Structure 1
Amino acid sequence: MWEIDSAEALQALASRLSAFVSERDAITLAGDLGAGKTTFAQGLLSALGVTEAATSPTYQIVHAYETPRRTVYHCDLYRLHPGDEEEIGFAEMCQTGAVVVEWPDIVADVLPHDRLDVRIEGEGGTRRVTLTGFGAWEKKLARFRQIEAFLARCGWEGARCLGLRGDASARQFMRLLRAGETAMLMDWPTQSDGPPIRDGRPYCAIAHLAREGTPFIAVSHWLREHAGLSAPAVTASDKDAGLYLVEDLGDAVFGDLIAGGEPLEPLYALAVDGLSAVRASGVPRSLPGPGGGLYDVPAFDREAMDVELDLLLQWYFRLEPVAADPAEMARSFVEAWSPHLDWLDKQPKTIALRDYHSPNLLLCRERDGLKRLGVIDFQDAVWTHPAYDLVSLLQDARLDVPEAVEHALYARYCEAAAAADPAFNAAAFARAYAILGAERNTKILGIFARLSMRDGKHVYLAHLPRIRRYLWRNLAHPALGELKAWYEAHLHKA
């Protein structure tokens, strides 16, 4: 039970619950007239992305709102009688969106099994709020209570949630506001490692994907304190619970800025200079970690690259089948890649942040110098050739980087590298750039196909033509002739 002493606190509680509302969901609001049901609904709807002022649909019965992530229905059933729900299409609403229901007793017999019941009681300025979860909401509510306890320990009890952001991982980010100050709650619950795929080990272990926050904390510290970039400082953490309170770097994400009309090249030039700063910082393999320990950055070894490349065979060619014997295709694929991976293994190495591209780069306008560059989503960092992050940026999977811009910014990086290190080998770097670009884009073709076929995230298919164009750019390198021949025999150029 939550003791609430103001309308603002009631809306804040509702906003924090928004993190757990699914695309199709049900939240019921029970209480006497004037208890605060509509006030609670307003806080919830705002956090779910409803931008217009929400009022109680007492006479309209239903207000429908379209948000970027879902349709939200706000129902006030006070004037209905049992059975009237068919006339307003209540069952259809529950199947197509998130439904917030005031006076739910009218439809008690047809409420979804998976739902959150909210009861608001009290008089005057004090309210008692009781939350009861059914079905999937039992687990959600247990997690919510963990988060509430964590925020209370951190001094952020009662904060308002201003919005949510997720990524392709299991993590979710909640922007919190308290007394004019903002912070991000990183909710990173423990997940199943998935099925074993090689020698009893799951994909995440082979590919060195982080499962908890230690690498995030260690890499963030190095980027801030030694490379001079802006990376979110972690101000509080509960590793066992998978909860972290981190610095809020704002919303000026490169991809959004470019979509809004800002020129790409100046932003990417700043990002290239950031990579030069990381390289110049002399980052060690063992980074200072939380609690005074060390975090060893995992090697992007042959096994990790093999399992990433295999995504093309396992997923992409299920989306775009080819007339070839699968066993022979797999054998020749490994054979074509082997000499390039062997060569790459002998080259100089440093840290690679791994997803260094437009969704994970921010412009911190109020800061100076390289601090204007904000970097997020680096917890999967690996130890590999320095060309990896450069090709991730200049062959951005999420937006088109013109080839002329790629060449100009590639030259900018190489000039800085040569100036800092007289032993910089430009020819070897170009070869590594092409190999890692081909490896990364091969992996992405498989991942985006998997996101569509397995997870129903079909929006990623729109990126496939761009990824194929980047891949062919890489395969044009003279050293990759035999590898290029394999792709020409099996991959459509269109």
Structure 2
Amino acid sequence: MSSPDRESQRLDFLKAAGLQDAARAPLPGDASTRRYERLTATDGTSLMLMDQVAAAESPPCDPAWTPEERKAKGWNAVARLSAGRVEAFAAVADHLRGLGLSAPAMPALDAPEGLAVLEDFGDALFARVIEAGEDETPLYLAAIEALVRLHQAGNPPEVLSGAGGDWPLLTYDATALQGGADLFVEWLPKLDPALSFDAAAIAEWAEAWAPITAAGEAGAVVMAHRDYHAENLIWLPEREGAARVGMIDFQDAVRAHPSWDLHSLLQDARRDVSPALEALALDRYFALRPELDRAEFMKSYAGLAALNEARILGIFARLVVRDHKPKYAAFMPRMWAHLNTNLKQPGLETVAAWFDKYVPAESRK
């Protein structure tokens, strides 16, 4: 993405947006194929340049594809990821703003080329302002308020419209959920020599998760940000209510069970959230949504959280082994702790028995 041709495309795009004289400062990269720059216009306005080459990833899922076709097309199709498409970001952003939530405005967009200029929410990521001494409780409760706003909007449209065109909002279905869980059995043995899963173990793995993935698909009735945590939320205290939570990195949004973003926030892979804060945040969520059956909801919360933690352990193992990014190993003990706790919850007996059979205690920490 840093080739001379790509830089020429960026310059042409910035010129068309009237930003050819803006100062440009690249931001550090993450595990994705996107890159960002902070732009400072000649009048002092701060903006962001999003740069995502569509061809850098396998194609996103066509809504008409069967599970078999999705598996043949690649990981993005299986998991129903957007492949980083800028038009997905634009469509989800428009939907969120329409609900009174804070997603960046896009003053300039070239979706076919994968370039966009975004409103700059600043650097006050929840994780950073908490590290700097901000009381975390009001931030997390505001994040709950924003989720409630999203969830009370009900079943979202099947197709979202945005400045870059229409984008399908697909269901985070059993195929996608199981595909995520399967990253664990694929990649953990490549990281931990003590682990080995034969065909029988993998068949038992899929069978153990089947009730949880089925419930996740059946309960997919809200839009899920899908990566809702303290590194993707920006504190905007000058705004009011749910709008104080600036959302980014939501281009992979799907229709999912409402517990998905909750456990992403409260059982974070990258920072510790105390059990007391998790309980307080969940109490707030259910107080704002009294129509829910809390006990039934929490079965799905624990089941899908456990599945997500297995998925993330697989992703981190892949990042360490395949992508030579050893820093992600440091996050794995936290994920193991969350997973071990969730495996004790009702409805996870079969999954817990699988782990007891195939994953020694010394490998689960």
Matched residue, 1:490? 358
Q: How far apart are 1:366 and its partner, in Å? A: 2.5
Consecutive unaligned residues of structure 2, counting only runs of 5 or more, are 60-67
One-letter code aligned to 2:129: L
Indicate conservation of the 8 Å contact 2:71/2:78, yes or no: no
Task: Say which is worse superposed, 375-384 or 185-194, in terms of deviation.
Answer: 185-194
1:136 alignment counterpart? none
Contact 1:193 1:202 (8 Å CA) reproduced: no
Q: Give the secondary structure class of the aligned counterpart of 2:21.
A: coil
Q: Provide the rounded CA distance (Å) in 2 between the counterparts of 1:162 and 1:236.
A: 18
Q: CA deviation at 1:269?
A: 1.1
Cα gap change, 1:263 to 1:316, in 2 (>3 Å): farther
Q: Matched residues in 2 for 1:489 and 1:394: separation?
A: 28
Query: Do structure 1's residue 230 and structure 2's residue 102 form an aligned pair?
Result: yes
Aligned to 1:440, the other structure's residue is in SS state: helix
Q: TM-score, normalised by structure 1?
A: 0.68
Partner of 1:56: none
Q: Distance in 2 between the 1:325 and 1:308 partners?
A: 17
Q: In structure 2, what is the equivalent of residue 400 of structure 1?
A: 272
Between the aligned partners of 1:165 and 1:236, the Cα distance in structure 2 is: 22
**Cα distance in 1 between the residues matched to 2:164 and 2:182:** 38
Alignment counterpart, residue 216 of structure 1, candidates 60, 77, 89: 89
Distance 1:479 1:290 in 2: 40
Is the contact between residue 105 and residue 119 of structure 2 (CA under 8 Å) also seen in structure 1? Answer: yes
Of 368, 384, 391, the match for 2:240: 368
Alignment of 1:279-428 (within 5 A): 279-282=151-154, 284-290=156-162, 294-322=166-194, 324-347=196-219, 349-418=221-290, 422=291, 424-428=292-296
Q: Kindly tell me: are residues 151 and 411 of structure 1, through their superposed partners in 2, closer, same or farther at Cα, counting changes over 3 Å?
A: same
Residue 64 of structure 2 is matched in structure 1 by none
1:159 maps to which residue? 22
Q: 1:467 aligns with which of 335, 338, 342?
A: 335
Letter in 1 for 2:327: V
Instruction: For residue 167 of structure 2, give the secondary structure of its aligned residue in structure 1.
Output: strand
- Indicate how the Cα distance of structure 1 residues 288 and 297 shifts in structure 2: closer, same or farther if over 3 A, else same: closer
Aligned to 1:481: 349
Query: In 1, Cα distance between the equivalents of 2:218 and 2:197?
Result: 33
SS of alignment partner, residue 191 of structure 1? helix
- The residue number in structure 2 matching 1:25 is none
Mapped partners of 1:380, 1:406: distance in 2: 25
What amino acid does structure 2 have at the position aligned with 1:223? L
* Deviation of 1:258 (Å): 1.9
Q: Give the letter for the 2:117 counterpart.
A: L
Superposition pairs of residues 59-208 of structure 1, within 5 angstroms: 140-178=3-41, 179-194=43-58, 199-208=71-80
The answer to whether the 8 A contact 2:156-2:255 is kept is no
User: CA contact under 8 A between 1:322 and 1:490: conserved in structure 2?
Assistant: no
In 1: Cα distance, 2:343 partner to 2:201 partner: 18
Q: Distance in 2 between matches of 1:142 and 1:323?
A: 45
Equivalent position SS for 2:348:
helix
Q: Secondary structure at the match of 1:161?
A: strand
Structure 2 counterparts to residues 6-17 of structure 1, below 5 A: none
Q: Percent identity?
A: 38
TM-score for both structures, normalised by structure 2:
0.91
Report if the CA contact (8 A) 1:184-1:248 is conserved: yes
1:249 aligns with 2:134: no
- Structure 1 residue 210 displacement after superposition: 0.9
CA pair 283-157 structure 1, distance change in 2 beyond 3 A: farther
Aligned mates of 1:428, 1:348 — CA distance in 2: 14
SS of aligned partner of 1:289: strand
* Residues in 1 aligned to 2:82 and 2:285: alpha-carbon distance in whole angstroms: 28
- Deviation at residue 370 of structure 1 after TM alignment: 2.1
Q: Which amino acid aligns with 1:286?
A: E
- Structure whose residues are more often strand by fraction: 1
Name the SS for the 2:55 alignment partner.
coil
Distance 1:388 1:187 in 2: 28
Alignment partner, residue 117 of structure 1: none
Count residues with an aligned counterpart: 352
Partners of 2:132 and 2:303 lie apart in 1 by 33
How far apart in 2 are the matches of 1:241 and 1:284?
A: 28
The alpha-carbon deviation at position 199 of structure 1 amounts to 4.4
The amino acid of 2:317's aligned partner reads: A
Structure 1 residues 347, 366: closer, same or farther in 2, change over 3 A? closer
Change (3 A) 1:292 1:462: closer
Structure showing greater relative contact order (alpha-carbon pairs closer than 8 Å, 6 or more residues apart): 2
Match of 1:78 in 2: none
The change in CA–CA distance for 1:148 and 1:270 in structure 2 (over 3 A counts) is same
> Which secondary structure state, in structure 1, belongs to the residue aligned with residue 108 of structure 2?
strand
How big is each residue's C-alpha offset from its partner over 1:254-280, in whole Å with a ceiling of 9 and x where there is no partner? 111122222322211111111011112
- In the alignment, residue 493 of structure 1 is paired with which amino acid? R
Name the residue aligned to 2:112.
Answer: 240
Determine the C-alpha separation between the residues in 2 that align with 1:323 and 1:163. 40
Give the distance between the partners of 1:141 and 1:442, measured in 2 at CA: 40
